[in-house]
Amino acid sequence: MPAVEVKNLVKRYGKVEAVKGVSFSVEENEIFGLIGPNGAGKTTILRILATLIKKDDGKVKIFGYELEKNDDEIRKIISYLPEEAGAYKNMTGYQYLTFIAKFFDGKDMVEEGIKISKLGRRINDKIENYSKGMIRRLLLARALMTKPKLAILDEPTAGLDVINAHEIRNIIKEFAKKGTTFLISSHNMLEVEYICDRIALINEGKIIEIDTPSNLKKKYDAKNIEEVFVKVVK
């Protein structure tokens, strides 16, 4: 059974058809990337799978649970990190993770979260004093400390410097090795080669290719995924 099965997914915002019949599946333990330019429909797809907005058509199953029929079950096994996630700025990182852990039933969760965040002693500082990278690491820790079967991460490294982005990618790879399945979006075509097992290239609401980065580079005789994308879109 695949971790995620998406068949002919459609989403419209008024007259705009943001997602135009998209199909893909993600295997358990895979890091699967949705790659495409701004406005391609990535966030829309991820928000539908995270049970936050409703699809207009198509079928989605997450670990066998059908979206919109079994949303409660789905919410128990997924984590979603939005692109523009904010945290409660008046809290310290520690208070924030403790606050989130209360919704679940694990005290150990907070310790795990602190470890993932790699914030060290800064975990006791107020979030308002954190840099963008620190906030992102805290939010990623929040998303992963609940040990989701599927982590849905929207642009997990957007706007981060090289070191912070690298750390976040390593955390993702480490958790994938331990059994978490990842569905991530990115418009950074170089980063996806580093972390994704397979990628779906998406443009104007349609998937135009799905394969491993190395197969795609071979197929299009390209040096990198950016070059593949340009060749595919032309």
Nearer to ligand ATP by Cβ, of 45 and 97: the residue is 45
Angle between helices 132-145 and 93-101 (to 10 degrees): 20
Nearer to ligand ATP by Cβ, of 40 and 101: the residue is 40
* Structural contact between residues 6 and 60, judged by C-beta atoms closer than 8 angstroms: yes
Report in angstroms the alpha-carbon separations of 34 from 161, 209, 225. Answer: 21, 10, 12
Nearer to ligand ATP by Cβ, of 13 and 104: the residue is 13
Q: What's the CA gap between 158 and 45, in Å, rounded?
A: 18
Minimum distance between the CB of residue 150 and ligand ATP, rounded to whole angstroms?
A: 18
Nearest to 107, CA basis, from 115, 97, 116, 117: 97
Minimum distance between the CB of residue 108 and ligand ATP, rounded to whole angstroms?
A: 34
Minimum distance between the CB of residue 226 and ligand ATP, rounded to whole angstroms?
A: 15
Secondary structure of residue 157 in the 3-state scheme: coil
**What number of CA atoms fall less than 13 Å from residue 15's CA on the CB side?**
0
Nearer to ligand ATP by Cβ, of 42 and 169: the residue is 42
Minimum distance between the CB of residue 13 and ligand ATP, rounded to whole angstroms?
A: 3
Where does this chain bind ligand ATP (CB under 6 A)?
13, 16, 18, 36, 38-44, 83, 187
Please name the amino acid found at residue 74: I
Minimum distance between the CB of residue 42 and ligand ATP, rounded to whole angstroms?
A: 3
Nearer to ligand ATP by Cβ, of 83 and 226: the residue is 83
* Structural contact between residues 127 and 87, judged by C-beta atoms closer than 8 angstroms: yes
Q: What's the CA gap between 56 and 44, in Å, rounded?
A: 12
Q: What's the CA gap between 234 and 29, in Å, rounded?
A: 33
Nearer to ligand ATP by Cβ, of 40 and 78: the residue is 40
Minimum distance between the CB of residue 12 and ligand ATP, rounded to whole angstroms?
A: 9
